Chains A and B, each alone.
Chain A
Amino acid sequence: MLNRTAENVARATPEPLARKVRGISDKGLAWLFISPTILLLLAINIFPLFWAIYLSFTNFRANRPNEVVKNLGFANYQRILGDQDIWIAMQTTAHFVFWTILLQTLIGFTLAWLIDRKFRGHAFWTTLILVPMMLSPAVVGNFWRFLYEPQIGLFSYVISFVSGIPPTSIQMLSNVSLAPWSIIIVDTWMWTPYVMLICLAGLRSIPEYIYEAAEVDRASNWRQFWSITLPMALPFIMLAVLFRGIENFKMFDMVNLLTGGGPGSTTEVASITLKRQAFESWRTGYSSAFAIILFVAVFGLANIYVKALNKVKQR
């Protein structure tokens, strides 16, 4: 009986393929399996990266491909580090990263902590809360423009209804001081569930017996929270913070569709500046240099992130 199954399985395997690979060693097979991925990444990620590094030392402009390309040495990098606008964009980015992470961590952790009480129906409501983070930031950002419309927008209406401020004066997207917050609000709405989900995993990874031991020692709830819950969930919180930090450092979709960097340049984050330089002013060499600087920063963060990831994995 068993033999027959094996025979059937052997017959079902494509014969020429099987014969061809039969002689292959494990080591050969490993490389056969891994190399297509590596080759694809070399072609689509690494080769363009080196091209960008080369371009960053030139005055190349993509809209004038026939012009003679001059080698500028480090001039592009020097100009970027001295460029006032770039520093303002970096500050704007830092401002976004700081506030979105702060809000998302506080709200996300609180939600996770509450869900961990395991009230009836918690699974259903948790799934409902998770929906926003699965959606396309661009499509959602575009629709929030409608919610933010003064007067007719639902968001502006609700705010004016609650606060009594006349509805026409709530200009979320065109007011210089409100525009950055309009983006922070949408980002927080969208990504708090992400932080919540990871924090929840952290809370659930804490073994029950530690709390039982704390009970024996008569530690107060307050004390248990600060000495057990928070420190033991911290690696997970760090993971969420790092990942959101990297993602929001690159933030583009939502900003491009909500404000496009405006009004003026109040919401012009690094990616928007990069897009303007590269695809509107066509300063390809200059923007490549900026891209490389951004990439080095993200690569550094990613390195820390992967270390954190492996740390959590051991739990």
Chain B
Amino acid sequence: MSLTTAHSVVAPSAGSKRIAGAIIIAYALISIVPLLWIFATSFKTPPDSIAYPPKIVFQPSIEGYCNLFTTRTRQTPEYINSLGPATGFCDETVRKRNMVIAGPSNFLPRFINSLIIAFGSTFCAVFLGTLSAYGFSRFKVPLADDLLFFILSTRFMPPIAVAIPIYLMYRELGLSDTALGMILLYTAVNVSLAVWLLKGFIDEIPREYEEAAMIDGYTRLQAFWRTVLPQATTGIAATAIFCLIFAWNEYAFAALLTSGTAQTAPPFIPTIIGEGGQDWPAVAAGTTIFLVPILVFTILLRKQLLRGITFGAVRK
């Protein structure tokens, strides 16, 4: 009947749904392969990881994780035999390759740096962002549109261009290669996103609640604290996760402005390969540990994702 085909766009036919579904599932599966490969490689032994043809079925091993967290030195078999029994799985695996564990690697401190800097800057950005967003949402601020554009435009600056004067400024202030310096910088980058996103969320909270609270004798600040903040919790949480992801993933500033004590994981992970030659399982292990939090956050955020990536403009 012509009617059923004519309505195909309004209500897609079962056949077109099936074809669309098949294509989307195929795309999703192919696009996820690189990630599955990273995960699989992290459980391979170094020889397995560079085998030809690439091994899909292999004997899993945590050697990559051992290598990620330790530094090792090569020793003669005689020396290794003279040592006592191996103290753990990692010790044993490493000895099979004629090496002994020399100490912990830099991965853990770099990972902790990433945590400190990401959480620190997220807290500051969301704190400042919430206040500003409330200000822009509820009060008549002169030149509000220009200020909002100014706030957003700072996010569009090319990081390398910003890094040149920041590098000089931090050198003068003694902030180079410090967690504080990185927190300040990431806060400045993230606050623009936070203001725009949170303004959207706070705009959606009816003013009547605050007005009612103020009639009851609350001051404006109490009304903000007691009625607006609790209602904006979802928005604040979503914004915080977006800020966290940005700070967690950031590479350009971290690579140029940190080198040692305050270095974060993204500039560190590529250097793992240099330490051990062709140690792809260790790189894969570091990458896996680094990516897992983001996967969790993506799933938590899926309903707010669209809002986050359009600075709050698209809300559905």
A interface residues, Cβ below 8 angstroms from B:
6, 9-10, 13, 17-18, 21-22, 24, 26-27, 29-34, 36-38, 40-41, 43-49, 51-52, 55, 62, 111, 114-115, 117-122, 125-132, 134-140, 142-144, 146-147, 149, 151-154, 157, 167, 189, 193-194, 197-198, 200-201, 204-205, 208, 211-212, 214-215, 218, 221, 224-225, 229, 236, 239, 243, 246, 249-250, 252-253, 256-257, 270-271, 274-275, 278-279, 284, 287-288, 291-292, 294-295, 298-299, 301-303, 305-306, 309-310, 312-313
Please name the residue on chain A nearest to B129 by beta carbon.
A37
- Which residues does chain A contribute within 8 Å of B28, judged by CB atoms? 125, 128-129
Q: How far does the Cβ of A242 sit from chain B's closest Cβ, in whole Å? A: 11
Further contacts, 15 of them, CB under 8 A, given A114-B20, A284-B168? A13-B225, A29-B220, A44-B166, A55-B168, A114-B24, A128-B32, A135-B291, A139-B287, A143-B38, A200-B306, A215-B7, A224-B9, A243-B309, A288-B165, A299-B156
Contact A294 B266 (CB under 8 A): no
Q: Which residue of A lies closest to B56 (CB)?
A: A154
Q: Which of B197-242 contact A (CB under 8 A)?
A: 216-222, 225-226
**Cβ-closest chain A residue relative to B294:** A134
**A33 in contact with B309 given A45-B157, A111-B24, A131-B295 (CB within 8 Å):** no
Q: Smallest CB-CB separation from B12: which chain A residue?
A: A117
Q: How distant is the Cα of A174 from the Cα of B288 in the complex, in angstroms? A: 26
Indicate if the CB atoms of A142 and B283 lie closer than 8 Å: yes
B35 within 8 A of A: yes
Contact call B21/A291, Cβ cutoff below 8 A: no
- The answer to whether B216 touches A6 (Cβ under 8 A) is yes
* 30 A-B pairs with C-beta separation under 8 A: A18-B219, A30-B138, A30-B141, A31-B135, A33-B135, A41-B191, A43-B188, A45-B162, A119-B21, A127-B302, A128-B32, A136-B294, A138-B249, A138-B255, A139-B266, A200-B306, A211-B9, A215-B6, A249-B158, A253-B252, A256-B251, A270-B158, A271-B252, A274-B160, A274-B161, A288-B164, A295-B161, A310-B313, A312-B313, A313-B313
Among the listed A126, A139, A225, A246, which residue makes an inter-chain contact with B156, where contact means beta carbons less than 8 Å apart? A246
Interface centre among B151, B164, B294 (most CB of A within 10 A): B164
Q: Convert B278-316 into 0s and 1s, putting 1 for each residue whose CB lies closer than 8 angstroms to a CB of A.
A: 001001100100110011011100100110011101101
Question: A9 to chain B: which residues have CB within 8 Å?
Answer: 218, 222, 226
Contact flag A189-B31 (CB < 8 Å), given A135-B294, A139-B269: yes
- Which listed residue, A37, A118, A243, touches B12 by the CB 8 Å rule? A118
Q: Which residues of A contact B159 (CB under 8 A)?
A: 250, 252, 271
Chain B residues lying within 8 Å of A17, measured Cβ to Cβ, are: 221
- Of the candidates A119, A138, A149, which one forms a contact with B270 in the assembled complex, judged by CB atoms under 8 Å apart? A138
Contact A143 B20 (CB under 8 A): no
Which chain A residue shows the least CB distance to B127?
A: A36
> Do B52 and A151 have beta carbons less than 8 Å apart?
yes
- The verdict on B113 contacting chain A, using a C-beta distance below 8 Å, is no
Q: How far is the CA of A295 from the CA of B157 in the complex (A)?
A: 6
Contact yes or no, B158 A274, CB < 8 A: yes
Q: Which residues of B contact A143 (CB under 8 A)?
A: 34, 38, 283-284, 287
Contacts of B185 in A (CB 8 A): 44
B158 contacts which of A134, A151, A198, A291 (Cβ < 8 Å)?
A291
Q: Which residues of B contact A303 (CB under 8 A)?
A: 149, 153
What is the interface of chain B, defined by CB distance below 8 A to chain A? 6-10, 12, 16-18, 20-21, 23-25, 27-28, 31-35, 37-38, 41, 49-54, 128-129, 131-132, 134-136, 138-141, 147, 149-154, 156-169, 171, 184-185, 187-188, 191-192, 195, 216-222, 225-226, 245, 248-252, 255-256, 265-267, 269-270, 280, 283-284, 287, 290-291, 294-295, 297-299, 302, 305-306, 309-311, 313-314, 316
A215 to B53, CA, bound (A): 55
Cα of A36 to Cα of B136 in the assembled complex, Å: 13
Residues on A with beta carbons closer than 8 Å to the beta carbon of B134: 33
